[in-house]
Structure 1
Amino acid sequence: MTVRRYASVVRLRADLEAENAADTALIAECPVTRDWWARTEPCQQPLDSAGEGELWAPAEEVFPLE
């Protein structure tokens, strides 16, 4: 679990990369979710600090909770 800060936003994240990939794959099997993603994807705009081909930018870890 980590607490990260990006600009003035603080987020608590309690998942691991491996779990996140597995969860995303499972969620992607849902036809309603796939429809939602298809409708909202065109609205996504990358952050200025995001890497090439990425929508999101890395956030600074401020409190590691291990």
Structure 2
Amino acid sequence: MIELHPQIIEKDGKKEFTVLPYDEFVRVQEELEDYEDLRQLREAQEHDKEAPAITLAELKKDLGEQ
């Protein structure tokens, strides 16, 4: 888990903005990119779950290789 050190900026007594040190921002951004990659991978795997498949041996046979 990333340890964050946010600075909260209020406007009219309400929390309005959060400021992070740049290195923490970069780490959060990288984590979000990794999460998005994982989400897309899982979505693609689910989509391809019913796709027809053949084994490597079957492919070699079809191509005339041994």
The TM-score with structure 1 as length reference comes to: 0.29
Task: Identify the structure with the greater helix proportion.
Answer: 2
Kindly name which structure, 1 or 2, has the bigger radius of gyration based on alpha carbons. Answer: 2
The TM-score with structure 2 as length reference comes to: 0.29
